[in-house]
Structure 1
Amino acid sequence: MRLTLFLILCLCGTIITPTWAGGVQIGRTRIIYPSDKKEVELALINRDNDLPWLVQSWVDTGDGKTRGPFIITPPLFRLDAQKEQSLRIAWTGAPLATDRESLLFLNVRTIPASEKGSEGKNVLRLIFKTRLKLFFRPAGLDGTPAQSCAGLTFRRTGNTLTAINAGAFYSVFDTLQLGGHRLDSLDMVAPKSTAQVALPAGVSGQTLSWRCITDYGNASASHSAALQTG
């Protein structure tokens, strides 16, 4: 889950005062959308003690621009202090792959209201944009996400490491290590695909160890495999 902060400086006086004391908490770190579901829900809670927040949500295909085939209800709403509301996410039925998972991204932008008495002051307002992975999961896929993770294989050619995912599910790494070195720059492998990363100088070893992030956002069991070469 990536968090981007946009700073908006409203110039109207001489004092700069932060306007946040809480914030909107999102109920999950990833969303699994089974294709046979009419919709899935995502809970949002405003942890602020006093201020309402404005919440805007949408789905994109990964480039940050192209909207994905999902409808968010409500797309824009006010969430009062200490209140909870769920986003309802519904697939439009537009074509997506049927033999493997598809990855899209849910964006949640939250904006705090201005505090009373802040008129005529300089106010530093933080706009939070949270981006969550949304996995569209067709019915009837072979295997499970855990099996895809456990079945990963790895090949080294020179200083390039290639991860190979023969399964139908995304494998997102919690940890990936070779010879005691963490390889944080390789974050996931798409289903029925490969992913490559350049190994740092001096990294050696013949055994990879890794954990994947599960549907619930925690780490899977640890796996290891001999490193193929050539």
Structure 2
Amino acid sequence: MPWMALCIKNGFIMIKRISGLLFLLVLCFTGVQVQAGGVTLGATRIIYPSNARQAELTVINSDPQNKFLVQSWIEDEKEHKNQDFIVTPPLYVLEANKENTLRIVYTGSNLPQDRESMFWANIKVIPPLNDEHKTENTMQIAIQNRIKLFYRPLSILKYDTQAPDKLQFVRQTNKIKVTNPTPYYLTLVNIKANDKGIASSLLVAPFSSAYLTTPVRGSISYQTINDYGAQTTRVIKKIN
């Protein structure tokens, strides 16, 4: 029977028929080179003040030899492409040992002015197929980085450093309800209950609640991520 091989090349997935299983095994385990990027981002999140003309993100290529094709776009919280943000340049070649600045401009209508709005910045890095590998079995892997973009209105522009301490925890049968009474998105990390780890992270939207699926009692401790991507001081709260 024919077999199907999955090939990833230049960011596209292609299905090819292979007449024999032996050839498929040889293709998978011999002579296949996987190329990935030496491209990193200058931040782990983007804060877009509503009174700013644009937000910026640095893309860095630390590879001394290879250049990469970089494609960028913005999605809303539900991961649908958002046309209200313009990313410049949307598609370009990042040369070896170089960096470039992406400029993000919001052109849409007014967003809520009493709380943050969250989006996703997507940066896809596509490696080149070098001339010496064109006759070989080469798997091209496009690496997609995705980081949070927070649009912050002028009314709450100065971040409240006490916001992480305002979270409320209430036990509900077999889960913990986490309520965020602040206008900021709060990302909890290193979450522990009675000094035992129960979750690696949890995102709680402004004036909303999220749930930890664990029936613990007593106290809970956590850290949050600040505007610079660093972890804040650990907070310990009682579970009501």
The answer to whether the 8 Å contact 2:73/2:81 transfers is no
Q: Quick one: which of 53, 73, 94 aligns to 2:68?
A: 53
The range that moved more, 172-181 or 157-166, is: 172-181
Which fold has the larger relative contact order, with Cα–Cα distance below 8 Å and residues 6 or more apart in sequence? Answer: 1
The answer to whether the 8 Å contact 1:143/1:168 transfers is no
> How far is the alpha carbon of 1:185 from its aligned partner?
6.2
Q: Quick one: which of 213, 216, 224 aligns to 2:228?
A: 216
Distance 1:218 1:68, change over 3 A: farther
Q: Over residues 131-158 of structure 1, what are the superposed CA-to-partner deviations in whole Å (9 max), with x where a residue is unaligned?
A: 1000110011287342221111100011
Which has the larger share of helix? 2
Q: Over residues 96-132 of structure 1, what are the superposed CA-to-partner deviations in whole Å (9 max), with x where a residue is unaligned?
A: 1110001100000000111121222111111100110
The answer to whether the 8 Å contact 2:87/2:105 transfers is yes
Aligned to 1:194: 209
Distance, in Å, in 2 between the alignment partners of 1:141 and 1:112 is 41
Aligned to 1:123: 138
Could you say what the CA RMSD is over the residues aligned between the two structures, in angstroms?
A: 2.2
Q: Quick one: which of 162, 166, 170 aligns to 1:151?
A: 166
> How far is the alpha carbon of 1:166 from its aligned partner?
0.6
Q: Quick one: which of 21, 28, 34 aligns to 1:18?
A: 34
Q: Quick one: which of 190, 200, 204 aligns to 2:216?
A: 204
| Matches for 1:13-162 after TM superposition, within 5 Å | 15-20=31-36, 22-141=37-156, 144-162=159-177
TM-score by length of 1: 0.87
> How far is the alpha carbon of 1:23 from its aligned partner?
1.5
Distance, in Å, in 1 between the alignment partners of 2:44 and 2:185 is 15
The range that moved more, 79-88 or 136-145, is: 136-145
The answer to whether the aligner puts 1:8 opposite 2:20 as a matched pair is: no
Opposite residue 8 of structure 1, the aligned amino acid is I
Q: Secondary structure at the match of 1:209?
A: strand
The answer to whether the 8 Å contact 1:179/1:207 transfers is yes
Give structure 1 regions of 4+ aligned residues with deviation exceeding 6 angstroms: none
Q: Secondary structure at the match of 2:133?
A: coil
Opposite residue 65 of structure 2, the aligned amino acid is D
> How far is the alpha carbon of 1:223 from its aligned partner?
1.1
Among all aligned residue pairs of Structure 1 and Structure 2, give the percentage whose two residues are the same amino acid: 33
The answer for unaligned runs of 5 or more in structure 1 is 1-5
> How far is the alpha carbon of 1:18 from its aligned partner?
2.7
TM-score by length of 2: 0.84
The answer for unaligned runs of 5 or more in structure 2 is 1-5, 17-26
